[in-house]
Amino acid sequence: MNYSPILIVAGEPNSIFLEIFFKTLKTKKIKSPIILISSKEILKKQMKIFNLKKKIKLLDDENYQYEKLDNKTINLIDIKFNQKKAFEKISNKSNKYIEKSFLMAFKILKQKKIYKFINGPISKKNFLNKKYLGITEYVSKKFSIKDYCMLIYNKNLSVCPITTHLPIKDVAKKINKKNISQKIKLINDFYKKILGFKPKIAVLGLNPHCESIYNYNEDEKIIKPLIKKLCKKYKVSGPYPADTIFIKNIRKKFDVVVGMYHDQVLTPIKTLYEYDAINITLGLPFIRISPDHGPNEKMLGKNQSNPLSLIQAINFLDNK
């Protein structure tokens, strides 16, 4: 059986990503050929530190056949980056390199021969520079996708925030029927198409206990009437109070919990599953996944980072 390649952008060169990538190669038998977009020099320097012996095959993105790649080597598209040490402090110095890496990946993805994409972490502060809320928004914008959402996926329970990296004071402004409906549709379509079933979706309220001391209550005015309408089409219910939905006997009734803001659902999902979750962007013309962690600059070179999230990302894509 021929497996389609997984395209990987290493992202920030001064991150833990290549460490967990090397650990994944050592611990998991990957069926799909891997195409890595990274700096050859950084790759070799970090391979030496982490004692990985693996053949590197340099690729020309214009002149190679995807179907002839194998999973025994690191198929590398080299993006030049001048850095003397294997690790340095994260700074704006890597911005152009990261951008070139992503643009190379987008060029390949737009050819529609590859549909499996993983990106390593970046520094939002340095690379995104307040232009995008996160990589979810960055990638979606580059493909002119307006309807997208972030799904933090675990096979037992996944979560989706209606708003992502938005300050709390701005969250309520983005809670509307259109925004919630669009994300529930994307979740339902993804589960049906990729996983083969209609998910049971719980929608949380915005306010504590879905109550408000003010005259205007988003839970009563927006969320509750919307759920009443959507439940005719989807397996969706709510609004539920966020402080009890993740209790074991309640959460086991659902496949996905949709929250109104980032930490309302990401804090409990990471508490429950730690590294056993992956970040999937829904709505793109390909499957885009990132391991659910950042660059983690404090752990650089220590060989202590947990590769489970990347392993699960590759597991998810390997048979897709």
Q: How far apart are CA 106 and CA 33, in angstroms?
A: 18
CATH (domain of 24): 3.40.718.10
Is residue 50 domain-shared with residue 116, that is, in the same domain?
Answer: yes
Distance of CA 263 to the CA centre of its chain: 16
Flag whether the pTM goes above 0.85. yes
Total domains, the chain: 2
Residues 302, 270 within the same domain: no
Secondary structure (3-state) at 23: helix
Q: Are residues 120 and 207 in the same domain?
A: no
Say yes or no: 102 and 218 in one domain.
Answer: no
pLDDT tens per residue across span 143-181: 999 999 999 999 999 999 999 999 999 999 999 999 999
Same domain, 265 and 191: yes
248 and 120 together in one domain: no
Among the listed residues 112, 86, 104, the one whose alpha carbon sits nearest the alpha carbon of residue 4: 112
Q: Please compute the mean of the pLDDT values over residues 98-111 and round it to a whole number.
A: 96
| Residue 271: domain span | 150-275
Q: Are residues 141 and 66 part of one domain?
A: yes
Q: By three-state DSSP, how is residue 163 classified?
A: coil
Distance CA 98, CA 61 (A): 17
Does residue 24 sit in the same domain as residue 75? yes
CA pair distance 196, 207, nearest whole angstrom = 33
Q: Check whether residue 195 and residue 252 sit in a common domain.
A: yes
Q: Please tell me whether residues 231 and 303 are part of one structural domain.
A: no
Structure confidence by residue, pLDDT tens digits, 235-285? 999 999 999 999 999 999 999 999 999 999 999 999 999 999 999 999 999
Whether residues 230 and 101 share a domain: the answer is no
User: Are residues 12 and 80 both part of a single domain?
Assistant: yes
